[in-house]
Chain A
Amino acid sequence: MYLYLPVALTSINIIIPVGLGLAVGLLSGLFGVGGGFLMTPLLIMFGIPSTVAAATDSNQIVAASTSGTYAHWKVGNVDFKMGVYLLIGGFIGGLFGVQAIKVLNATGNADFVIKMTYVLMLGIVGTYMLIESLNSMKKKKTEAVKTEKESGLTKFLKSLPFQTHFEKSGVTHSTLIPLLFGGFVGILAAIMGVGGGFLMVPVMVYILKMPMHVVVGTSLFQILFNCIEVTFLQAYTNHNVDFILAVLLLLGSTVGAQIGAVFGRKMKGEQLKIILAVIVLVVTVKIIFELTLTPSLLLSQAGGH
């Protein structure tokens, strides 16, 4: 059955958005990512204008992350305190990121910098997560837990002022740390035009040393608020949110997020990390192919400004 989308000005078979929603929502509930890096290009592939695809996806993520946060909160896997600090940092970082884009646009090679940042970030994050989680799985098999050597970074983090305990995550950090790294992800996310879940998750795992299951719930909580802000701004300033498309997507994604959360509880942290790493690397390779293969069309719709 086909439905007409009033803002995208196109018609779509409802199986497509509901199916995409289900698949990406599943990943969202499993790994605590918004999935914009998968959803937006897929929507464009199915004929949705790129600006509408990105804006509508953020509206849809509001629903998926509400559903996912709720599922993880029920089993005590959301660190609200940490989430709020990361949010504040991310918000401030986003403001800087938007300014950075203005500067890049003025120099004229914004697209090059954005694409390169994206590919590098995805590549580094994916490779690091994959190697690290494979190693930690091997270690667990061969030897008993070796007392972890404190790295220079950990020592430095411990020496900072405003140390506070995050009960849900079972870690103690300076409040500056989530603010700073939240800000860092916020800057990059604004530059790349994505939610940044795939960056926030590794930051929480490797720098904040939070347990993987709490990371997923907290990341979703954080994404929820980000996407509320983005959806409003997109609807208000760019008129790019397609309500009907969002509803079709969220029909799938809210259910997908619940299923993902249930599956996630049955899996080990390492397994989750490996699968996420592989997905991130596959997306990286796909983008590299897109950049190097001759596109079938050399013209595309310009942004809706």
Chain B
Amino acid sequence: MKNFKFLMLLLPCIFIFAGTASAELTIKANHDNIKIDFFYHGSTVSVAGNADSGTDLIIKIASPEGHEILKQKGKVAGLLWMNTGTLNLGHVPGLYSIYSTKKIEDLLSRKEMDKYVIGYPALGRQIEMTPVSNEDEKSKWFNEFVKYKESSNLYTISSGKIMTTAKDGKQAYYILTGWPYQAPPGDYLVTVYAVKDKKVLEKAESKVSVEQVGIIKMLAGMAKNKAALYGIISIMAALAAGFGVGLIFRKGGGAH
């Protein structure tokens, strides 16, 4: 226990030391505090920094790993598509985006991809999935899961969109990404990896936080915490609107 505590104290020092030793890779996520207000329709996030020249870069934006439960569709009686069960997924990020200067398969070895969870195959090997009986089934449902996430813009992998410019023997990088409105409130980790010879040399981290504000925050909070009152207000508003419109039409001469 004592040893462990000591290690925990030491750990940040190692990172700081490692950081100062090279001090080449920096990262800054602009627009790091996204506010969801009444008119919110997604946002943009720019990620920029400096890196050693001669390295390739991979940027990963992901939410903390969590647990998801999804309904599975399958064929019943060889003819009809229906919900046939539920799929439980553990250690999955809700949002997962990878941007890189070149295709990640050309930049990293499989071992490194797995270590840093970069790319769908690495993510697939990390995820826990039940119920699946064999590897084939697991990879089939993982592919479906990626399709499901991509359909709401929560998972993306793309290469070649990071812009780099040479500067004082180093390179400055910059990328502007669209932030999907489907991404729920929470904290998201932005990591940049400097890569050379199929290995990660360095990484640096930043954060994007998304929060609800104003009327959206009030309504979302009320729906959860004051459910009875929220229900009654919703009903009252609907009744009032129905009567109101009825009266307007009567006055407007809609009746005969």
Contacts and interface: CB of A to CB of B under 8 A. Distances in A.
Interface of A: 1-4, 6-7, 9-11, 47, 59-60, 62-71, 74-75, 111-112, 115, 228, 231-232, 234-237, 239, 241-244, 246-247, 250-251, 254-255, 257-258, 262, 265, 290-302
B80 A291 contact: yes
Contact of A297 (B80, B147, B249): B147
Contact of B249 (A69, A236, A258): A258
A75 B249 CA distance: 13
A241 B103 CA distance: 43
A293 B81 CA distance: 7
A291 B233 CA distance: 38
Contacts of A301: 70-71
Interface stretch (B7-15, B52-60, B82-90, B167-175): B82-90
The 6 closest A-B CB pairs, nearest first, are A66-B242, A235-B231, A70-B246, A62-B238, A254-B245, A63-B238
B16 interface: no
Contact of B242 (A62, A237, A299): A62
A111 B82 CA distance: 7
B41 interface: yes
A15 to B, nearest CB: 13
Interface of B: 36-42, 69-74, 76, 79-84, 86-87, 141, 144-145, 147-148, 151-152, 181-182, 184, 212, 215-217, 219-220, 223-224, 227-228, 230-235, 237-239, 241-246, 249-250, 254-256
Contacts of A9: 182, 184
19 contacts: A59-B238, A65-B242, A66-B246, A67-B242, A67-B245, A71-B255, A231-B231, A231-B235, A236-B228, A237-B227, A241-B231, A244-B219, A290-B81, A291-B82, A298-B72, A298-B74, A299-B70, A299-B73, A300-B71
B240 to A, nearest CB: 8
Given A111-B82, A228-B239, 5 more contacts: A2-B39, A112-B80, A257-B245, A291-B81, A296-B151
Contacts of B220: 6-7
Contacts of A69: 242
Contact of B238 (A3, A66, A244): A66
Nearest to A234: B231
A292 B246 CA distance: 43
Nearest to B225: A239
Given A3-B38, A4-B37, A59 B241 contact: no
Nearest to B148: A299
A235 B215 CA distance: 18
Given A67-B245, A299-B70, A299-B145, A74 B181 contact: no
A59 to B, nearest CB: 5
B244 to A, nearest CB: 8
B254 A262 contact: yes
B73 A246 contact: no
Given A67-B242, A300-B73, A300-B148, A4 B216 contact: yes
Contact of B71 (A63, A262, A299): A299
A4 B41 contact: yes
A40 to B, nearest CB: 15
- Give the most central of A64, A66, A69: most B CB within 10 Å: A66
B10 to A, nearest CB: 41
B212 A66 contact: no
